[in-house]
A and B are shown apart, each in its own frame.
Chain A
Amino acid sequence: MLALQKVCPDVTEARLVEDLLAFIAAGEADEEAFNRMALAVFAHQFETNAPYRRFATQRARTLRTVKSWRDVPAVPISAFKDLTLSGRPPEECPHVFMTSGTTKGVRGKSHHPTLAVYDRSMTVNFRRRFMANPYGGDHDRLRMGILFPTEQAMPNSSLAHYLALARSEFGTADSRYFVSDAGLDVDGAIAALSRAEETGEPYALLGASFSVVHLMDALAERGRSFALPTGSRILDTGGFKGQSREMAAEEFYGRLSATFGVPRRLCINMYGMTELSTQFYDDGNETCPSVKSGPHWIRSRVINPLTGQEVPRGSVGVLVHHDLAHFNCASAILTEDAGVEVEGGFQLLGRADGTDAKGCSMAVEDFLKAARAS
């Protein structure tokens, strides 16, 4: 089998894609099934992706030593900036998602030779986690308002693609965007929200958390708030800069609910990353921090970032995700997000960085700031 992969990567990639689509379609996976699929994905990445192979080998993780999905070495997301982690040569990948600007101006890239798996992962999961009708059955389509630029405006944004997919697969024909080059279309949003109030049909507002904040600020300025029809829902993603996450989240969802008249259990936060092909969701934000979980083709671990060992259940650590759908790059990634494993998933606790440094020694962030300023 390994020989075959070497000879004919396209064939094995096509087969892997097929296997992954079938895996997603299976609806569930026990430990053994997940393991089998994870090892196949690891083998593919190890064989086709030279930088990843070097990375894994340096950690003594090879096809011989990796026996379980937990052994698959997780690539730190910072490595996506320095390394080209792609099984297929990048020039053969029509889709490239990039992280937004970073402190050093280098953007992490995820190459996708096909979006078949990404899109299936997104739609299957989205239907289950966002389209469910709390009053029975699923909605096939909802009228949507999107607070983010279009895919055309941001061709390298995984979030733009995600939201475009949400609209094309799950939105009604009159769903629309409220963010363009001209900025936030507050009047358009007000008109759509008012119309939803009038028709009584459930409405869905989706977008980046910060755009949602902008909209709420604009509405507050005009003294507007809404009571969206029963079954309406909101999806935000990306979080908020500054402040501690819990504080901000509590305040954010309180305000969200008050501004749009959507109960907090239908204010859903999506946690996704450019370096993944699968998203996590919570079941609303009645309490914060909410519990996030993903579908059966992604599993997460909470580790001590220094030792790589899993922390005892219930302790804070850094999140590692094993996303089998991210087959072309690196399916196992080490995030910079602190989290804790809880019943039914994990809680996100903000970024695991040195903001709590104790001394007077200059830390990386300050130094970079100084370097930029000078």
Chain B
Amino acid sequence: MERAGHLPGLSADAVGWRTLTFRRGAETLDVAVPVLSEAQIAELAARVRTNARTYLRRRTVAEIAAIIDRAVARLLDRDDPWRQKAERLLPLVTGYDAEMVRLGLTGYLKTFRGPELRKFIAEDFANPALLDDFQPMPKGGFARAFGPELLLHVWAGNVPGLPLWSLISGLLVKAGTVGKLPSAEPLFAGWFAQILAEIDPELAGCIAIVWWKGGDEAAERAWLTRADTVVAYGGNDALEAIRARVPITTRFLPYGHKISFAMVARSALDAGKAGVVARQAAYDVARYDQQGCYSPQTFFVERGGRVSPREFAGYLAHELDALGSKFPRRPLSMGEAGSVASWRNAEETKGFADPGRALLGDPAGSWAVAYTDAADGLSPCGLNRTVTVVAVDRLADAVPGLAPYRAFLQTVGIAAAPEELFALAGALGAVGVTRLCALGRMTAPEAGWHHDGRFNLLDLVTMTEIEGSAERAADAFAPYTD
């Protein structure tokens, strides 16, 4: 039995616990998640708020970053008991391949080391001291950025460690933090808070990691009405339900599900380069089995290279097959298997009537590549290592068809020469794409990434300004005034 969450000031005996059971093959893990009464919610919210006011607010952002860095260092240390626990339990909970989880954690956590955290802050604040004290402004006067006193995160999904992104963003703006664990991966965020507690108990007192059952209106409302700002992840239906319960005076920052895709220019399709490109592309597909919003679902591949789009589909299939033995796909639920099967069946059926289509896949169904000559636009695949390769004369031809999906576009993995890259970037940005990256890097955004084009830290703060007039007027009341 593993206890999830982090409840400063509440004794474990005083709260209710509910067991979530995770199975992988013969292994079973029971995770106890906390179920709080309304009174306990009120108490915890008040405590986190007070602690943030009295402790976090008084630390400098550099001090906070240093503590986070120490916690991240422990998670990167393979001899550390926390890291070992994460490597042992996360594959069991999420179903992902253990080696993939291990590599993924390291790659991800690296982006939260000290220097990376400074980049994070610098991305949003040219002068990070704004977070610590009033700073002179070019227009005159002074300003200081205040984070919310109580920031509520509603996390979702099973990609290991994902909650860390917003949790750390919140801490960097000195927000008292309450995070709702995702039922699909209810461990990591609580562990991080507990590591912080070992390093700096006072800081950890400004964080509560809680749980309620998705759709539990009473619990959700109790938290939502107590927060100053709410960051929420999930499908649009879930987000809409949350938004309906957020008071109008509360800032609401939703991160909905997104779709990402890739583009391969003919300049990347000579015999020497195409294999490498396909390997990187396959890695983006296989990593976390396409569960991430940054995972590619369609590949637009340009005609006219030495390697044709159809051949590229074959390369990609080959690489997916190879990755499948190195990092096997996690076992699918019957519903997920059904989705993959119905996508594959539909692609196969289309192929009967159209010789310009092909479906490549292994008999066990652990991956599939659909190829089409037709001018198909972006389309979601069956996830879990299924992709469509769409042949296009020019990559730019694919762009107009993206416009209807503006609100859902996110990452484009791209293999193209510099000129093409910048030309496409303009067109893609104009239809709503917010991130372009190299193939092979789609699932590993840089430190300081503007998630969905937004500002990780700036979106959380409010500015308090001392206008020049106040400053000048103050002079008149100074003891030294003549």
Contact = CB atoms under 8 A, between A and B. Distances in A.
B337 interface: yes
Nearest to B233: A360
Interface in B205-220: none
Contacts of A353: 335, 338-339, 342
A352 B353 contact: no
Contacts of B292: 359-361
A358 B408 CA distance: 17
Interface stretch (B115-123, B129-137, B379-387): B379-387
Nearest to A51: B352
B233 to A, nearest CB: 6
A55 to B, nearest CB: 6
A354 B335 contact: yes
Nearest to B340: A306
A336 B383 contact: no
A371 interface: yes
A358 B329 CA distance: 14
Interface residues of B, number: 56
Contacts of B365: 305-307
A171 interface: no
Nearest to A55: B352
Considering residues A54, A336, A355, A359, which has the most beta carbons from chain B within 10 angstroms of its beta carbon? A359
Considering residues B156, B162, B234, B336, which has the most beta carbons from chain A within 10 angstroms of its beta carbon? B336
Given A360-B293, A362-B380, A370 B158 contact: no
A352 B338 contact: yes
Given A356-B333, A359-B158, A363-B257, A78 B349 contact: yes
A82 interface: yes
Given A78-B349, A307-B365, A363 B293 contact: no
Given A361-B295, A362-B408, A304 B257 contact: no
Interface string A76-103: 1011001100000000000000000000
Contacts, number: 153
A149 interface: no
Contact of B343 (A51, A317, A364): A364
Contacts of A370: 404-405, 407-408
A-side interface mostly:
mixed
Interface in B231-288: 233-236, 255-260, 288
A316 interface: yes
B44 interface: no
A305 B350 CA distance: 18
B238 to A, nearest CB: 11
Contacts of B291: 357-361
A233 to B, nearest CB: 33
A360 B364 contact: no
Interface string B340-370: 1111111011101100000000011110000
Interface string A42-57: 0000000001001100
Contact of B288 (A82, A318, A359, A362): A359
B378 to A, nearest CB: 9
Interface string B179-210: 00000100000000000000000000000000
A366 interface: yes
Contacts of B337: 304-306, 318, 352
Considering residues A307, A317, A354, A356, which has the most beta carbons from chain B within 10 angstroms of its beta carbon? A354
A51 B352 CA distance: 7
A351 B339 CA distance: 10
A65 interface: no
B341 A359 contact: no
A267 interface: no
A58 B349 CA distance: 11
B338 A364 contact: no
Given A82-B353, A360-B255, A338 B364 contact: no
Contacts of B366: 306
Contacts of A359: 157-159, 288, 290-293, 295, 383
A298 interface: no
Given A317-B334, A352-B338, A353-B339, A360 B349 contact: no
Contact of B342 (A78, A307, A374): A78
A362 B335 contact: no
Given A82-B349, A336-B342, A353-B339, 5 more contacts: A54-B352, A318-B334, A361-B257, A367-B380, A371-B404
25 contacts: A51-B352, A76-B346, A79-B345, A82-B350, A305-B340, A306-B344, A306-B364, A318-B337, A338-B338, A353-B339, A354-B382, A354-B383, A356-B336, A359-B291, A361-B260, A362-B258, A362-B293, A362-B297, A362-B408, A363-B383, A364-B339, A366-B236, A367-B259, A370-B404, A370-B405
